[in-house]
Amino acid sequence: MKTAYMFPGQGSQAIGMGKELYDASPIAREVFDKVEAALGGGLLDLIWGGTMEELSQAKNSQPAIFAVSMAMWTERGGLNAAGDAVIFGHSLGEYSALCAAGAIGITDAAQLLRRRGELMQSAVPAGVGAMAAVIGIGWTMDDVAAICAEASVGGKVASVANDNGIGQVVISGACEAVEKVVEIALTKEGVKLAKVLPISVPAHSAMMEPMVAEFRAAVEAITWTVPKLPFISNKTADVMSDVAEITEALIFQLTHGVRFQECVLRAQGLGMSDFVEIGPGNLLSAIVRRIIA
């Protein structure tokens, strides 16, 4: 059986995640401890004894989800047990996927994700940006993009952030535009749900532009290597192996949408018949079941 390994992004975090694995597996424990050391301590106490509000801050949730994902990947055998496979992630999950494929080390990835989270939080003042979900029967990314264009006026812009397939689209941008998208969407036939999400960072939108230059410098300061498994990029929804192209795609996704549905369909087109989620929760698995049902 050919396997597509998928790594989740923000929203998968939970207090206590990974604790049983840490206690039961010396191999996984080594990964957790390596991430903890890379960040100067404090992350594991937060994951296992902090508040959800604090854990959900991007600077914490991103390296925390990465730590759990990499511990799970390592515990199941990592590259040695991957077999005939492809690998991809959802937003920050791309960093877990690339680390799992040997393109970046655990220490570098953990520190880069901490910096990514810090920069995302500082790029837009609290209360200025927002994200929302639009869910409907037969609705596509293009349909929601049209509503975003209608709602984006006076320099307040909303755009598609995630295409999760089968009528599930996440938008991101200025609060006023995002709220207008929700208002318009709820008048459309077939829309089952449209609501603002409890997220203050407008990820994957043009509002992240202020962080791009500084994040680019952080990415380019790291030594990257060619992935040892075929890596499907959120930018192109196709296999990407050139290191320069991969790092540019990671920067690109800061201000552009995640083409997750297309990544899943590309993996299926490459002959993958088994989709395995590596990380906390099962959100991606649920999305995949809808896409390829």
pLDDT interval class at 249 (50, 70, 90): very high
What CATH architecture does domain 129-200 belong to? 2-Layer Sandwich (3.30)
Q: Please check whether residue 263 is in contact with residue 249, taking contact to mean a CB–CB distance below 8 angstroms.
A: no
Euclidean distance between CA atoms 130 and 108, whole angstroms? 29
Instruction: Indicate the pLDDT class of residue 6, thresholds 50, 70 and 90.
Output: very high
Please state, rounded to an integer, the average pLDDT across all residues of the chain.
95
Look at residue 107 in the predicted model and tell me its pLDDT.
Answer: 98
* Residue 45 binned pLDDT confidence (cut-offs 50, 70, 90): very high
Say whether pLDDT at 65 is over 80: yes
Note the pTM of the prediction, 2 decimals: 0.94
Residue-level pLDDT at 7? 98
Q: Which residues are catalytic?
A: 91, 204
Q: Where in the chain do CATH 3.40.366.10 domains reside?
A: 3-123+207-291
Q: Is the pLDDT of residue 96 over 90?
A: yes
- Give pLDDT, residue 215: 98
Segments of 115-260 assigned E as strands: 129-136, 158-163, 168-174, 191-196
State the average pLDDT over residues 124-147: 89
| Amino acid 137: pLDDT | 79
Q: Per-residue pLDDT averaged across 4-30, rounded?
A: 96
pLDDT number for residue 165: 86
pLDDT band per the 50, 70, 90 thresholds, residue 237: very high
Identify whether the C-beta of residue 263 lies closer than 8 Å to the C-beta of residue 88.
yes
CATH 3.60.9.10 fits 3-123+207-291, yes or no: no
| Residue 287, pLDDT above cutoff 80 | yes
In this prediction, residues 48-64 reach a mean pLDDT of: 94
Could you count the other beta carbons within 10 Å of the beta carbon of residue 200?
18
Q: Tell me the C-alpha distance between 280 and 169, whole Å.
A: 22
d(CA 94, CA 55): 20
Per-residue model confidence (pLDDT) at position 142: 87
Q: Where in the chain is the domain with CATH 3.30.70.250?
A: 129-200
Q: What confidence tens digit (pLDDT) does each residue in 181-234 have? A: 999 999 998 999 999 987 779 999 999 999 999 999 999 999 999 999 999 999
Residue 213 tokens read as: 């230059």
- Please compute, for residue 21, the number of CA atoms within 13 A of its CA located in the half-sphere on the CB side: 24
Place of tokens 């791309």: 94
pLDDT score of 284: 95
Distance (Å) of CA 105 to CA 38, 211, 248:
11, 23, 18
Q: Find the Cα–Cα–Cα–Cα dihedral 149, 152, 157, 160, rounded to 10°.
A: -30
Does the pLDDT of residue 50 top 90, yes or no?
A: yes
The pLDDT value recorded for residue 224 is 98
| pLDDT confidence of residue 47 | 97
pLDDT digits (tens, 9 = 90+) for 136-191: 877 888 889 999 999 998 899 999 999 998 788 999 999 999 999 999 999 998 99
